[in-house]
Structure 1
Amino acid sequence: MNVASESVVENALDDALSDEMTTSQSGNPILQWISVAALVYLLICAVGLIGTGFKTATGDEAKEMFAFATNPFAGLVVGTVATALIQSSSTVTSIIVGLVAGGLPVSVAVPMVMGANIGTSITNTIVSLGHVREKKEFARAFAAATVHDFFNLLSVVIFLPLEMMFGLLEKLGSLLASLFVVENASMKGMNFVKAATAPVVNNAKHMVENLSDGIGGMILILIGIVMIFLTIHYVGKLLKQLMVGRAKSIMHAAIGKGPMSGIASGTLVTVLVQSSSTTTSLMVPLAGSGAFGLKQIYPFTLGANIGTCITALLAATAVDGNQSAALQIAFIHLTYNVLGVLVIYGVPFLRFVPVRAAEWLGATASENKLIALAYIVGVFFLIPGLCLGISSVL
């Protein structure tokens, strides 16, 4: 299909959906909410396809990237790149928990966990590109996505030096782990989101199973990216229609009422879906449509950082090996994210540094779309890759 044909098809789809939305707006908004739910499901499936595609393409070599973490700085970079590629901090932290249980030193694993926090931000940053055709929407959406990046980067700047000098997080994690003894407990099968999306992801995987792992994996990644763009495009249109009246009031009561409400909501939703990438990605269309401001979404993002720790804690109950060390790194993950929120959001002059930086980047990227692409490639791949190469030589 050539570019002209794609444009015709997309315009036809837009016109058809616009007609349907106009009709349903005056008729039955329930159908619109069902459509939003279906599109959100497809968005989650799309993220799952990208992660599955990467794992299919790399096979058993995915864990090999962690072998480069020979020092704290390298560990930070490895955690960032691994999560950016796998598209799931939950997967990466679970791998880290397993590696620690198998003998990886906790001191090496701590920077990896920090890096996973940075790497997970790429998902919602990619999702924001779905708004690229509308300048104002894109500025809002890209700012809402990158505020997560800037918060996590600032958190690393504060806590990595403290960890290297005093072992602060390692000591706190050890203390918390010593209070919990988990015997014969496994909560490995409680990832409801993975179970819900498994039919779509598995069927897509079966479609490419006759191809080589590399080609099949790349096809799954491309399908996932296309699905993200399409779902975000149409979710944004629907939300513009729905985020008025009572629906908007309910959402504002849960998210926009105040920082504590936002943090609590973000934590709860992320605990339920076990994916901060999913939680924060769902906020991007809300920001792009103008339903919520960046300062309202910001606390929700912080809550998502805390809620995502549940996956590592669940994984620590199901590992084979040194469960005490596995629990320690899982609690380090929790402690790091909670302290990050307390320190950065609690200190007035630090509180809105991520917001101001994200607003500036969103406005700049909306003027020149190449800046958005350069930002994603540079922050999540190019700069970490260069740093990893330099650290390995030194």
Structure 2
Amino acid sequence: MQVTDIIFGILGGLSLFIYGIHLMGDGLQKAAGDGLRNILKKLTSTPLLGAIVGAAITSIVQSSSATSVMVVGFVNAGLMNLTQSIGVILGANVGTTVTSQIIAFKLTTYALPILTLGFVLNFLCKKRFWKFFGLFLFGLGLLFLGLKLMTGVVKPLGESEAVKQIFVNFSHNAFLGVMVGAVMTAVFQSSSVTTGLVLALAAVGLLDLSGAIPIILGCNIGTCITAILASIGTSVSARRVAVAHVMFNVLGSLLFIVLLGPYKFFIAKTSSDLLRQCANAHTFFNVFNTVLFLPLAGLYAKLITKLVPGKDVIFDWEPRYLEKHLLASPLVAFDASTKEIVQMARLSKEMVADSMDGFLNGNTRALAQISKKEAALDNLQTAVTDYLIELTQKNLTRQESIKIPPMLHSVNDLERIGDHSENLAELAQRKIDKKLIFSKEAIVELRGVYFLVNEMIDKTITALNTNSHDDAAKVLVIEDKINKLTISLRNNHIQRLNDGKCKVMSGIVFLDVISNFEKMGDHLTNVAQAVQKGLQWKARESSI
């Protein structure tokens, strides 16, 4: 067999193998629906529960990297703490070994039937579950087909003494094997791919158990690279998650290298089949690692906190004023709800300020705060809405009852301002990434409309605090100014385009910014009109 045939055979088989893993994860994830992220977010209250959930989800999505990236995102958004994340990532390491266990069943003979069945289900079935389960089977068939191709191509290499000697080195030099496994996994960003290659080489006799285990240990280190990349530019807490992931995989690998002899002896007793032994080596390493670190999750989190110092900006996720006992006094409950709505307005103002700081000054740290504040705003929206709905169950007068719908609408309008702030943050990031240039006139105009929107939010907060018709009217005056200004800005923009002073891409972003500001003005107008028409309960001092 020619060298080029061997090279392309390995690459082709590897391509099928990797694509098969991708389709398996994609198929099962879609078959399960959209609940995986919600499960991960909600069912991780303890490290043990987090480990179980992490293992289950990773076995479905077929990627510990995907799970770790989700965890980094949740911690960055403040939805999960470091101790919880440790449990999830330990579980994810266990869950990712499912692929190697499947491969060890030696189903390569049935690759084409599995492929065919998967295609038929995906192509003919209308029900979502069976359609995407077919995609999973199609991916599984591709995985075994790729493995069959790789083992067939490398089989002749098993007869070469020179090639055998190269792989014998892995048996004699464990650190070399660990490095190779780590680098390969970092490149492919999948420990399943590395272990698949190890099993293919073991199947043709190029690797024995002594050479396979160090490479498998190394792949557990290499898989951390995705979490590290995902943590770049995130919060201190999110970076701690990535460091925690690296540390317990590195420490675990070093421990097992020291105990390589006893560990090899133990794994050899688990099965008489070399492929199953390699798969078990991957699984038992991660199970032992989880059992070792899980009881120490709290102490380990403290250690990581010291190693990665710093403080995050912490947002108050819980409402401050919505006390349940106040529901018995509707007037006081209305006061409490209004104060919480004012908190929403202030938070939305901060979001607008952060997004424009990013846009005008290139402040990426300010942009990084937007998603956290949006989550906080969503949380307040849900809390106020639930509180007001619960208030409707009380014995309210007609005058009290008609106040609730406009308050609910105001809550939604303020949350929409947060959404538009997110839009501005995305436009700011696009401006930074694409190095878009804006004329001095355009920047001055954007500052002008931002100034008006900022003033409009301040006036809205005042109107909410005072319940004053006159203060609400001041908001509407600014809205009229914004509408006139945006018309003028669009005309100026068209003129700059005609004069060649503005690039087309920059112009598109400019118009999108103006449009988002205009919509913010519309939502603030709705809040002001709600104050004018429906929120005119008697202002009173309360003991909240």
Task: Report the TM-score when normalising by structure 2.
Answer: 0.45
Q: Supply the distance in 1 between the matched residues of 2:138 and 2:171 (Cα, whole angstroms).
A: 34
1:264 matches 2:179: yes
- Residue 131 to residue 363, structure 1, CA distance change in 2 (3 Å): farther
Structure 1 residue 365: deviation in Å?
9.9
Structure 1 residue 80: deviation in Å?
1.1
1:324 matches 2:236: yes
Q: In the alignment, which of 86, 94, 97 is matched to residue 61 of structure 2?
A: 86
Structure 1: runs of 5 or more not aligned? 1-24, 134-203, 381-394
Aligned to 1:355: 264
Counting aligned pairs with the same residue, the percent is 28
If asked which structure has higher relative contact order (CA below 8 Å, sep 6+), I would say 1
Q: Supply the distance in 1 between the matched residues of 2:22 and 2:10 (Cα, whole angstroms).
A: 18
Equivalenced residue count is 267
Q: In the alignment, which of 30, 35, 47 is matched to residue 61 of structure 1?
A: 35
Aligned to 2:533: none
Report if aligned partners of 2:108, 2:148 keep a CA contact under 8 Å in 1: no
Report if aligned partners of 1:130, 1:228 keep a CA contact under 8 Å in 2: no
Q: In the alignment, which of 284, 307, 318 is matched to residue 199 of structure 2?
A: 284
Aligned to 2:82: 106
Aligned to 2:48: 73
What SS does the aligned partner of 1:93 have?
helix
How far does the alpha carbon of each residue in 1:114-151 deviate from its partner, in whole angstroms, 9 at most, with x for none? 11111111111211222688xxxxxxxxxxxxxxxxxx
What SS does the aligned partner of 2:136 have?
helix
Report if aligned partners of 2:54, 2:95 keep a CA contact under 8 Å in 1: yes
How far does the alpha carbon of each residue in 1:243-286 deviate from its partner, in whole angstroms, 9 at most, with x for none? 32444444555x44511111111111111111111111110011
Q: Supply the distance in 2 between the matched residues of 1:132 and 1:236 (Cα, whole angstroms).
A: 10
Q: Supply the distance in 1 between the matched residues of 2:14 and 2:62 (Cα, whole angstroms).
A: 17
Q: Supply the distance in 1 between the matched residues of 2:273 and 2:186 (Cα, whole angstroms).
A: 34
Report if aligned partners of 2:16, 2:145 keep a CA contact under 8 Å in 1: no
- Residue 288 to residue 364, structure 1, CA distance change in 2 (3 Å): closer
Structure 1 residue 242: deviation in Å?
2.3
Structure 1 residue 208: deviation in Å?
5.6
Aligned to 2:8: 34
Q: In the alignment, which of 49, 52, 58 is matched to residue 26 of structure 2?
A: 52
Q: In the alignment, which of 129, 133, 143 is matched to residue 105 of structure 2?
A: 129
How far does the alpha carbon of each residue in 1:363-386 deviate from its partner, in whole angstroms, 9 at most, with x for none? 1799xx9xx9xxx9xx99xxxxxx
Q: Supply the distance in 2 between the matched residues of 1:46 and 1:131 (Cα, whole angstroms).
A: 14
Task: Report the TM-score when normalising by structure 1.
Answer: 0.62
How far does the alpha carbon of each residue in 1:296-345 deviate from its partner, in whole angstroms, 9 at most, with x for none? 111111111111110001111265xxx11110001000011111122232
Q: Supply the distance in 1 between the matched residues of 2:31 and 2:7 (Cα, whole angstroms).
A: 36
Q: Supply the distance in 1 between the matched residues of 2:172 and 2:8 (Cα, whole angstroms).
A: 25
Q: Supply the distance in 2 between the matched residues of 1:332 and 1:93 (Cα, whole angstroms).
A: 11
CA RMSD of aligned residues (A): 2.9
What SS does the aligned partner of 2:35 have?
helix
Q: Supply the distance in 2 between the matched residues of 1:289 and 1:131 (Cα, whole angstroms).
A: 16
Q: Supply the distance in 2 between the matched residues of 1:71 and 1:120 (Cα, whole angstroms).
A: 21
Larger radius of gyration: 2
How far does the alpha carbon of each residue in 1:185-223 deviate from its partner, in whole angstroms, 9 at most, with x for none? xxxxxxxxxxxxxxxxxxx9xx76994432221011010
Aligned to 2:403: none
Q: Supply the distance in 2 between the matched residues of 1:93 and 1:353 (Cα, whole angstroms).
A: 31
Aligned to 1:18: none
Q: In the alignment, which of 70, 74, 82 is matched to residue 95 of structure 1?
A: 70
Q: Supply the distance in 1 between the matched residues of 2:142 and 2:206 (Cα, whole angstroms).
A: 23
Q: Supply the distance in 1 between the matched residues of 2:8 and 2:213 (Cα, whole angstroms).
A: 27
What does 1:57-206 align with in structure 2 at a 5 Å threshold?
57-66=31-40, 67-103=42-78, 104-130=80-106
